[in-house]
Amino acid sequence: MTTTTTTRTNMAVNERYFGHATDYFLDNLKFADKNLRIRGRWITHHSERFASTLLAASAEGIEWARKKEKRLTSECLKRTATHKRKLEEAFRDEARYFDLIIELKQILREHYLLKYLGCRRKDLTATFQKYGAVEKVSEFFRCEHLRRKGMTWGEMIQAIDEEERQLWTWQTSHSLQDITRYGENILRPKPAAPVTEIAKGIADLCGELDGFDGATAFESLVSIVRENTGKSDRDFNEYTALHWTASWGELAKRLRNDSALLDRRFAGNHNEALRDLLETKIDEMNCRLFKKNLVSIRIGINLVEPTREACEEAIFYKAGIERLGQNWQ
């Protein structure tokens, strides 16, 4: 009799455990699905990734709970809790840096039109409309997020430049020499770079650093933002300048990054026509300027070789600039 009672008690406990687990998985399934739908195209890359993993973990957990697999259900509970925590953190960052995220997305999209389509700044809006690729902030973000008018990306770039200057000064100062006093090195503390860290965090949130060497990808991102903010002449094509000065390594790197991130920066069916056109234009520029443009740190490949035509054009541009300089003397 005692054994039977114990067995029934254990069965009841297990039923409650699997019942609560199933409810937890269902709640998280609905949470992830709801946010994916209402945030739509404005969800950041990391939030979308965490929401997708939360969906998958919750669905798997429901299946294991249905089969009464306690160990596997427990593992899914832990994974689901972790994914939900990361997703909520990503949502908080989206709210905190909403204005900067929106501005960055727009800068990166306009960058392609300016560099590859020969578009003038005044024609950007009309070009997006022509291809049906106008981005509109969803009503969810209009209503749910407090619009914090803090720093702009132009102001952030100025702050990042100042932090880099301070770091360079610190690295080259006499305090880094082997100065000792009473047997101890005397070094000033390394200067903090809070704005740079915020910028890297936003770039990471938007998926701008995924699959790349982080430092290189961030440098390219900062270059794009610098060229499109502040007092920069956005109608001047920096890629043309890199060509004129035969800066092949930098130009090749920028083309690779633009190509690799095109799909992410122009995600969605409404961007398809413009995305396909830009893909063609990037390939055309890459083929015209480079015979080889392949770099892989992982497998140790560094193949950047400009075409003969590109080299001849660079020489021609350089000679023209030198003649122009002589005429001004």
Residue indicated by tokens 């960055």: 104
In the prediction, which pLDDT does 1 show?
46
- Which pLDDT score is estimated for 324? 62
Taking only the tens place, the pLDDT of each residue in 28-49 is 999 988 888 766 666 788 888 8
* Burial of 217: CB neighbours in 10 Å, binned 0-12, 13-18, 19+: buried
Helix (H) / strand (E) element for 88: namely: helix 70-96
Q: What is the mean pLDDT of residues 206-231?
A: 85
Model confidence over 161-204: pLDDT tens digits?
Answer: 999 999 888 877 755 555 555 455 556 778 889 999 999 999 99
Give the residue among 63, 65, 64, 53 at the shortest CA–CA distance from 28.
Answer: 53
The Cβ of residue 115 has, within 10 Å, a number of other Cβ atoms equal to 22
Q: How many CA atoms lie within 13 A of 98 on its CB side?
A: 19
**d(C-alpha 225, C-alpha 222), whole Å:** 5
- Write phi, then psi, for 305 (nearest 5 degrees): -140, 115
Q: Where in the chain is the domain with CATH 1.20.1270?
A: 2-96
C-alpha dist (Å) from residue 181 to 94, 175, 202: 48, 12, 42
Tell me what percent of the residues of the chain surpass a pLDDT of 70.
Answer: 80
Q: Under a CB-based contact definition with an 8 Å cutoff, are residues 301 and 294 in contact?
A: yes
Q: Identify the pLDDT of residue 60.
A: 94
pLDDT (average), residues 83-88: 93
Please report the pLDDT score of residue 328 as a whole number. 62
Enter the pTM of the model.
Answer: 0.82
Residue 228 has pLDDT above 60, yes or no: yes
Distance CA 81, CA 79 (A): 5
> What integer best gives the mean pLDDT of the chain?
84
- pLDDT score of 45: 86
Three-state SS at 228: coil
- List C-alpha distances in Å: 115 to 6, 120, 173, 219, 252: 74, 10, 39, 18, 14
Whether 160 shows a pLDDT value over 60: the answer reads yes
pLDDT band at residue 86 using 50, 70 and 90 as cut-offs:
very high
The pLDDT score that the predictor gives to residue 46 is: 87
Quote the strand ranges of the chain, DSSP E.
180-181, 184-185, 290-296, 301-306
User: Is domain 2-96 in CATH 1.20.1270, yes or no?
Assistant: yes
